[in-house]
Structure 1
Amino acid sequence: MTPYEALYGRRCRYLVGSVEVGEAAVIGPNSVLYAMEKVLLIRDRLMKTQSRQKSYADVRRRKLEFHVDDWVAYELELPTKLEAVHPIFHTSLLKKEVGGPASIVPLESVSMKNSISTEDVPVKILDRQVRRLRNKEFTSVNVLWGSQSVERVIWEAEAAMKANYPYLFPSDSTQA
């Protein structure tokens, strides 16, 4: 019994021909040529795939040079107002910034809590929809949320929004 057969409980099958272990077979020139063509085809496809993957990876890869005693992390000098933020980060977290002076947020406008979180505030209701199931109706509202310079739009349950932010719903008579 071969080690493969002992391990997997079946005989080993070869890619070229149907030769069993221990028996010899005459392989003609056509089958050898066929097998060589298949190997070349597989090798060619693997090279194309590898080249394609390398071209995708090279677009995102940046050339970084480090010397002896260089550190691969940066430490920021933050003002005392932002002392709750961890000042050290790894270079892999860096992303290319394409912007100008308009993308700089003044430090005075950033308000931090001890939990290092900011508060989103609903700005206005953009849309309203009613989803019907078999015997229930769920009303959702599309809310524009604003947090400093970031804005996002999310569907929220209308009942929860009315309970937490009643000033967004000035009169319910227009909604009915």
Structure 2
Amino acid sequence: ELIQETTEKIVQIKQRMQAAHDRHKSYADLKRKPMEFQVRDKKGLEMFAYKLDLPGELSRVHSTFYVSNLKKCHADEPLAVPLDGLQFDDKLHFVEKPVEIMDCEVKRLK
């Protein structure tokens, strides 16, 4: 008898939740309008993310960048670093190689 009452209450709760969900959906659907956009149509749209076509050596970098994280580059063209001589490890950390040892110092501890 207790199991029967519990089962009936569970069914009743599920029905009421479904009815509330359907009511909420019907009110929300009243505000929605079907919209169609063409490619490059900027009417009422804002760009939040850019998907960049990156070169092959940067294939492990995620290609989507959010506009809020991007800043305009004001650097001079001669200051741009070519990626040809740079090496990166598996986690895309820069691998430094010393070019020349400039000084050597030996310290003796007591």
Higher strand share: 1
TM-score (norm 2): 0.45
TM-score (norm 1): 0.31
Higher relative contact order (CA 8 A, sep 6+): 2
**Radius of gyration: which is bigger?**
1
